[in-house]
Amino acid sequence: MPWLVMGALLALALLSAALTWAARGYALRRQLMDHPGERRSHSVATPRGGGIAIVISLLATAAVAMWAWPQAMPSLLVAAAGLLLVAGIGWWDDHRPLPAMRRLLVHFIAAGLLAGLVKIHGGSWLLALLVLFFTASLINIWNFMDGINGIASSQAIVVALGFAPVLPWPWSLLAIALGLACVGFLPFNFPRARIFLGDVGSGALGYAVAAVVAVASLRTDINWILLLVPLSPFLVDAGFTLLARIISGQRWMEPHTQHVYQRAVQAGASHALVTGMYFVLGLFSITVFNVSSNLQPRWEAVVAIAWFITLSMLWLLLRNGMRLRQGTP
Protein backbone atom coordinates (compact mmCIF):
# COMPACT_ATOMS: atom_id res chain seq x y z
CA MET A 1 0.00 0.00 0.00
CA PRO A 2 2.73 2.59 0.79
CA TRP A 3 4.36 1.86 -2.57
CA LEU A 4 1.01 2.34 -4.30
CA VAL A 5 0.54 5.72 -2.62
CA MET A 6 4.08 6.81 -3.47
CA GLY A 7 3.59 5.73 -7.08
CA ALA A 8 0.33 7.64 -7.34
CA LEU A 9 1.94 10.79 -5.92
CA LEU A 10 4.85 10.53 -8.36
CA ALA A 11 2.35 10.10 -11.18
CA LEU A 12 0.62 13.30 -10.04
CA ALA A 13 3.81 15.35 -10.41
CA LEU A 14 4.50 13.77 -13.82
CA LEU A 15 0.92 14.45 -14.92
CA SER A 16 1.26 18.10 -13.96
CA ALA A 17 4.53 18.38 -15.89
CA ALA A 18 3.06 16.74 -18.99
CA LEU A 19 -0.01 18.97 -18.88
CA THR A 20 2.17 22.07 -18.46
CA TRP A 21 4.11 21.09 -21.59
CA ALA A 22 0.81 20.62 -23.44
CA ALA A 23 -0.51 23.96 -22.13
CA ARG A 24 2.58 25.71 -23.46
CA GLY A 25 1.98 24.28 -26.90
CA TYR A 26 -1.65 25.40 -26.77
CA ALA A 27 -0.71 28.92 -25.65
CA LEU A 28 1.83 29.28 -28.45
CA ARG A 29 -0.71 28.13 -31.05
CA ARG A 30 -3.39 30.49 -29.72
CA GLN A 31 -0.92 33.35 -29.16
CA LEU A 32 -1.83 33.63 -25.48
CA MET A 33 1.19 35.72 -24.58
CA ASP A 34 2.13 38.09 -21.77
CA HIS A 35 4.11 40.90 -23.35
CA PRO A 36 6.65 43.08 -21.52
CA GLY A 37 5.37 46.40 -20.24
CA GLU A 38 5.77 49.17 -17.70
CA ARG A 39 3.74 47.25 -15.10
CA ARG A 40 5.38 43.88 -15.70
CA SER A 41 8.62 42.39 -14.43
CA HIS A 42 9.59 40.30 -17.46
CA SER A 43 11.40 41.41 -20.61
CA VAL A 44 10.41 38.65 -23.08
CA ALA A 45 6.95 37.75 -24.42
CA THR A 46 5.95 34.54 -22.63
CA PRO A 47 3.01 32.13 -23.01
CA ARG A 48 0.45 32.17 -20.19
CA GLY A 49 -2.15 29.76 -18.86
CA GLY A 50 0.17 27.00 -17.65
CA GLY A 51 -1.67 26.87 -14.34
CA ILE A 52 -4.41 24.83 -16.04
CA ALA A 53 -2.04 21.89 -15.56
CA ILE A 54 -2.16 22.31 -11.78
CA VAL A 55 -5.95 22.63 -11.86
CA ILE A 56 -6.45 19.44 -13.88
CA SER A 57 -3.97 17.58 -11.67
CA LEU A 58 -5.85 18.62 -8.53
CA LEU A 59 -9.18 17.65 -10.08
CA ALA A 60 -7.73 14.25 -11.01
CA THR A 61 -6.58 13.84 -7.41
CA ALA A 62 -10.08 14.70 -6.21
CA ALA A 63 -11.54 12.06 -8.54
CA VAL A 64 -9.19 9.40 -7.15
CA ALA A 65 -10.04 10.49 -3.60
CA MET A 66 -13.76 10.09 -4.37
CA TRP A 67 -13.07 6.52 -5.46
CA ALA A 68 -10.92 5.79 -2.39
CA TRP A 69 -13.26 7.50 0.12
CA PRO A 70 -16.81 7.44 -1.33
CA GLN A 71 -18.24 9.01 1.83
CA ALA A 72 -16.24 12.16 1.06
CA MET A 73 -17.66 12.49 -2.47
CA PRO A 74 -20.23 15.26 -1.75
CA SER A 75 -17.67 17.48 -0.03
CA LEU A 76 -15.04 16.82 -2.69
CA LEU A 77 -17.54 17.66 -5.44
CA VAL A 78 -18.39 21.00 -3.80
CA ALA A 79 -14.70 21.87 -3.29
CA ALA A 80 -13.94 20.85 -6.89
CA ALA A 81 -16.80 23.04 -8.11
CA GLY A 82 -15.26 26.02 -6.32
CA LEU A 83 -11.89 25.28 -7.90
CA LEU A 84 -13.51 25.03 -11.32
CA LEU A 85 -15.26 28.37 -10.86
CA VAL A 86 -12.03 30.16 -9.96
CA ALA A 87 -10.02 28.42 -12.68
CA GLY A 88 -12.79 28.89 -15.24
CA ILE A 89 -13.09 32.65 -14.78
CA GLY A 90 -9.28 32.87 -14.82
CA TRP A 91 -9.07 30.81 -18.04
CA TRP A 92 -11.66 33.11 -19.62
CA ASP A 93 -9.70 36.17 -18.47
CA ASP A 94 -6.49 34.73 -19.91
CA HIS A 95 -8.20 34.51 -23.30
CA ARG A 96 -10.32 37.68 -23.11
CA PRO A 97 -9.79 40.16 -20.24
CA LEU A 98 -12.83 40.57 -17.99
CA PRO A 99 -13.91 43.40 -15.65
CA ALA A 100 -12.39 43.06 -12.19
CA MET A 101 -15.75 43.12 -10.41
CA ARG A 102 -17.06 40.22 -12.49
CA ARG A 103 -14.04 38.13 -11.54
CA LEU A 104 -14.41 39.13 -7.89
CA LEU A 105 -18.07 38.06 -7.87
CA VAL A 106 -17.12 34.58 -9.09
CA HIS A 107 -14.33 34.44 -6.50
CA PHE A 108 -16.83 35.13 -3.73
CA ILE A 109 -19.21 32.47 -5.04
CA ALA A 110 -16.39 29.91 -4.97
CA ALA A 111 -15.34 31.12 -1.52
CA GLY A 112 -18.94 30.70 -0.39
CA LEU A 113 -18.87 27.03 -1.39
CA LEU A 114 -15.76 26.47 0.73
CA ALA A 115 -17.24 28.41 3.63
CA GLY A 116 -20.40 26.31 3.38
CA LEU A 117 -18.34 23.14 3.67
CA VAL A 118 -16.66 24.51 6.79
CA LYS A 119 -20.05 25.14 8.40
CA ILE A 120 -21.44 21.73 7.39
CA HIS A 121 -18.41 19.95 8.84
CA GLY A 122 -18.74 21.50 12.28
CA GLY A 123 -17.27 24.95 11.97
CA SER A 124 -18.95 27.93 13.61
CA TRP A 125 -20.70 30.67 11.66
CA LEU A 126 -17.82 32.98 12.56
CA LEU A 127 -15.27 30.53 11.17
CA ALA A 128 -17.33 30.10 8.00
CA LEU A 129 -17.49 33.88 7.55
CA LEU A 130 -13.74 34.16 8.06
CA VAL A 131 -13.15 31.40 5.50
CA LEU A 132 -15.42 33.24 3.03
CA PHE A 133 -13.43 36.47 3.10
CA PHE A 134 -10.08 34.75 3.60
CA THR A 135 -10.59 32.54 0.52
CA ALA A 136 -11.67 35.43 -1.71
CA SER A 137 -8.64 37.38 -0.46
CA LEU A 138 -6.17 34.56 -1.06
CA ILE A 139 -7.42 34.03 -4.61
CA ASN A 140 -6.52 37.63 -5.37
CA ILE A 141 -3.35 37.71 -3.26
CA TRP A 142 -1.87 34.80 -5.22
CA ASN A 143 -2.79 36.66 -8.39
CA PHE A 144 -1.16 39.88 -7.18
CA MET A 145 1.99 38.06 -6.09
CA ASP A 146 2.40 36.08 -9.31
CA GLY A 147 4.69 38.65 -10.88
CA ILE A 148 8.11 36.98 -11.25
CA ASN A 149 9.33 33.55 -12.21
CA GLY A 150 8.46 30.76 -9.80
CA ILE A 151 7.32 32.84 -6.83
CA ALA A 152 3.61 31.87 -6.72
CA SER A 153 4.05 28.12 -7.23
CA SER A 154 7.09 27.89 -4.93
CA GLN A 155 5.18 29.61 -2.12
CA ALA A 156 2.32 27.14 -2.61
CA ILE A 157 4.90 24.36 -2.22
CA VAL A 158 6.07 25.98 1.03
CA VAL A 159 2.48 26.04 2.31
CA ALA A 160 2.10 22.37 1.39
CA LEU A 161 5.34 21.49 3.21
CA GLY A 162 4.11 23.36 6.28
CA PHE A 163 0.67 21.79 6.53
CA ALA A 164 1.33 18.21 5.41
CA PRO A 165 3.01 17.20 8.73
CA VAL A 166 0.28 18.66 10.97
CA LEU A 167 -2.80 17.46 9.11
CA PRO A 168 -4.09 13.99 10.04
CA TRP A 169 -4.35 11.25 7.41
CA PRO A 170 -5.96 11.34 4.86
CA TRP A 171 -6.44 15.11 5.05
CA SER A 172 -2.69 15.58 4.66
CA LEU A 173 -3.08 14.32 1.08
CA LEU A 174 -4.68 17.65 0.18
CA ALA A 175 -1.48 19.51 1.04
CA ILE A 176 0.72 16.83 -0.55
CA ALA A 177 -1.29 16.89 -3.79
CA LEU A 178 -1.07 20.68 -3.96
CA GLY A 179 2.69 20.60 -3.46
CA LEU A 180 3.30 17.88 -6.06
CA ALA A 181 1.08 19.51 -8.67
CA CYS A 182 3.19 22.66 -8.27
CA VAL A 183 6.42 20.64 -8.41
CA GLY A 184 5.39 19.36 -11.85
CA PHE A 185 4.74 22.89 -13.09
CA LEU A 186 7.70 24.70 -11.50
CA PRO A 187 10.50 23.58 -13.91
CA PHE A 188 8.60 25.29 -16.75
CA ASN A 189 8.42 28.55 -14.79
CA PHE A 190 11.71 28.69 -12.87
CA PRO A 191 14.48 29.79 -13.12
CA ARG A 192 13.60 30.68 -16.73
CA ALA A 193 9.91 31.06 -17.49
CA ARG A 194 8.79 29.09 -20.53
CA ILE A 195 5.18 29.63 -19.49
CA PHE A 196 3.35 31.63 -16.81
CA LEU A 197 0.61 30.42 -14.50
CA GLY A 198 -1.89 32.88 -15.92
CA ASP A 199 -5.01 33.90 -14.03
CA VAL A 200 -6.28 30.34 -14.36
CA GLY A 201 -3.36 29.13 -12.23
CA SER A 202 -2.70 31.95 -9.78
CA GLY A 203 -6.32 32.20 -8.66
CA ALA A 204 -6.67 28.43 -8.43
CA LEU A 205 -3.55 28.24 -6.26
CA GLY A 206 -5.00 30.84 -3.90
CA TYR A 207 -8.22 28.81 -3.65
CA ALA A 208 -6.33 25.55 -3.07
CA VAL A 209 -4.17 27.13 -0.36
CA ALA A 210 -7.33 28.47 1.31
CA ALA A 211 -8.82 24.96 1.20
CA VAL A 212 -5.75 23.55 2.97
CA VAL A 213 -5.98 26.20 5.70
CA ALA A 214 -9.74 25.64 6.04
CA VAL A 215 -9.24 21.89 6.52
CA ALA A 216 -6.53 22.58 9.12
CA SER A 217 -8.90 24.90 10.99
CA LEU A 218 -11.36 22.00 11.29
CA ARG A 219 -9.07 18.98 11.72
CA THR A 220 -6.41 20.40 14.06
CA ASP A 221 -6.49 22.36 17.33
CA ILE A 222 -3.97 24.93 16.09
CA ASN A 223 -4.83 28.56 16.83
CA TRP A 224 -6.21 30.23 13.70
CA ILE A 225 -3.62 33.03 13.85
CA LEU A 226 -0.79 30.49 13.79
CA LEU A 227 -2.43 28.82 10.76
CA LEU A 228 -1.63 31.99 8.81
CA VAL A 229 2.11 31.87 9.50
CA PRO A 230 3.02 29.54 6.56
CA LEU A 231 1.41 32.13 4.27
CA SER A 232 3.04 35.11 5.98
CA PRO A 233 5.54 36.15 3.25
CA PHE A 234 2.68 36.69 0.80
CA LEU A 235 0.20 38.03 3.37
CA VAL A 236 2.60 40.71 4.61
CA ASP A 237 3.85 41.86 1.20
CA ALA A 238 0.41 41.85 -0.44
CA GLY A 239 -1.41 43.22 2.60
CA PHE A 240 0.86 46.17 3.33
CA THR A 241 1.29 47.03 -0.35
CA LEU A 242 -2.48 47.06 -0.80
CA LEU A 243 -2.91 49.22 2.31
CA ALA A 244 -0.27 51.68 1.11
CA ARG A 245 -1.98 51.97 -2.29
CA ILE A 246 -5.40 52.55 -0.72
CA ILE A 247 -4.05 55.20 1.66
CA SER A 248 -2.32 57.01 -1.22
CA GLY A 249 -5.55 57.02 -3.24
CA GLN A 250 -4.39 54.65 -5.97
CA ARG A 251 -6.74 52.19 -7.71
CA TRP A 252 -5.85 49.02 -5.85
CA MET A 253 -7.18 46.57 -8.47
CA GLU A 254 -4.96 47.93 -11.24
CA PRO A 255 -1.71 46.11 -12.12
CA HIS A 256 1.40 47.66 -10.59
CA THR A 257 4.99 46.95 -9.61
CA GLN A 258 5.02 48.18 -6.01
CA HIS A 259 5.29 44.91 -4.09
CA VAL A 260 8.61 44.43 -2.36
CA TYR A 261 9.48 41.48 -4.59
CA GLN A 262 8.87 43.65 -7.67
CA ARG A 263 10.88 46.53 -6.27
CA ALA A 264 13.74 44.12 -5.60
CA VAL A 265 13.75 43.08 -9.27
CA GLN A 266 13.62 46.73 -10.33
CA ALA A 267 16.62 47.36 -8.07
CA GLY A 268 18.63 44.82 -10.05
CA ALA A 269 18.06 41.48 -8.32
CA SER A 270 17.31 38.51 -10.57
CA HIS A 271 13.99 36.68 -10.51
CA ALA A 272 15.77 33.57 -9.27
CA LEU A 273 17.38 35.43 -6.37
CA VAL A 274 14.16 37.12 -5.23
CA THR A 275 12.09 33.94 -5.54
CA GLY A 276 14.81 32.07 -3.66
CA MET A 277 14.79 34.65 -0.86
CA TYR A 278 11.01 34.37 -0.52
CA PHE A 279 11.33 30.58 -0.51
CA VAL A 280 13.89 30.70 2.31
CA LEU A 281 11.67 33.12 4.22
CA GLY A 282 8.81 30.70 3.67
CA LEU A 283 10.89 27.84 5.08
CA PHE A 284 11.57 29.92 8.19
CA SER A 285 7.84 30.60 8.43
CA ILE A 286 6.82 26.94 8.30
CA THR A 287 9.59 26.08 10.79
CA VAL A 288 8.09 28.58 13.24
CA PHE A 289 4.66 27.14 12.46
CA ASN A 290 5.57 23.50 13.01
CA VAL A 291 7.68 24.12 16.11
CA SER A 292 4.87 26.14 17.69
CA SER A 293 1.91 23.99 16.66
CA ASN A 294 1.89 21.96 19.90
CA LEU A 295 1.91 24.93 22.26
CA GLN A 296 -1.09 26.06 24.26
CA PRO A 297 -3.45 28.13 22.05
CA ARG A 298 -2.60 31.46 23.70
CA TRP A 299 1.13 30.88 23.21
CA GLU A 300 0.52 29.84 19.60
CA ALA A 301 -1.18 33.21 19.11
CA VAL A 302 1.70 35.05 20.82
CA VAL A 303 4.28 33.37 18.57
CA ALA A 304 2.22 34.09 15.46
CA ILE A 305 1.72 37.75 16.32
CA ALA A 306 5.43 38.15 17.10
CA TRP A 307 6.30 36.55 13.74
CA PHE A 308 3.96 38.84 11.82
CA ILE A 309 5.35 41.91 13.62
CA THR A 310 8.88 40.81 12.70
CA LEU A 311 7.97 40.33 9.04
CA SER A 312 6.12 43.63 8.97
CA MET A 313 9.20 45.46 10.23
CA LEU A 314 11.33 43.67 7.65
CA TRP A 315 8.85 44.67 4.92
CA LEU A 316 9.01 48.33 5.97
CA LEU A 317 12.80 48.34 6.07
CA LEU A 318 13.11 46.71 2.65
CA ARG A 319 10.43 48.86 1.04
CA ASN A 320 11.79 52.14 2.38
CA GLY A 321 15.34 51.16 1.52
CA MET A 322 14.45 50.32 -2.08
CA ARG A 323 12.29 53.43 -2.45
CA LEU A 324 15.23 55.60 -1.40
CA ARG A 325 17.56 53.73 -3.73
CA GLN A 326 15.20 54.05 -6.70
CA GLY A 327 13.95 57.54 -5.86
CA THR A 328 10.32 56.38 -6.23
CA PRO A 329 7.28 57.15 -4.05
What confidence tens digit (pLDDT) does each residue in 21-74 have?
Answer: 999 999 999 999 988 866 666 678 899 999 999 999 999 999 999 999 999 999
Q: Do the annotations mark residue 199 as ligand-binding?
A: yes
Q: Confirm if 204 and 86 have CB atoms less than 8 A apart.
A: yes
Cα gap 132→83, rounded to integer Å: 14
Looking at 171-180, 240-249, 270-279, 280-289, which range is the least confident one? 240-249
| Domain that residue 269 falls in | 2-326
Give per-residue pLDDT as tens, 62-93: 999 999 999 999 999 999 999 999 999 999 99
Read off the pTM.
0.94
Please provide residue 190's backbone torsions phi and psi, each rounded to the nearest 5 degrees.
-155, 140
For the chain, the first-to-last Cα distance in angstroms comes to 58
| Contact yes or no for 165/15 (Cβ under 8 A) | no
Domain count, the chain: 1
Q: What is the mean pLDDT of the chain?
A: 92
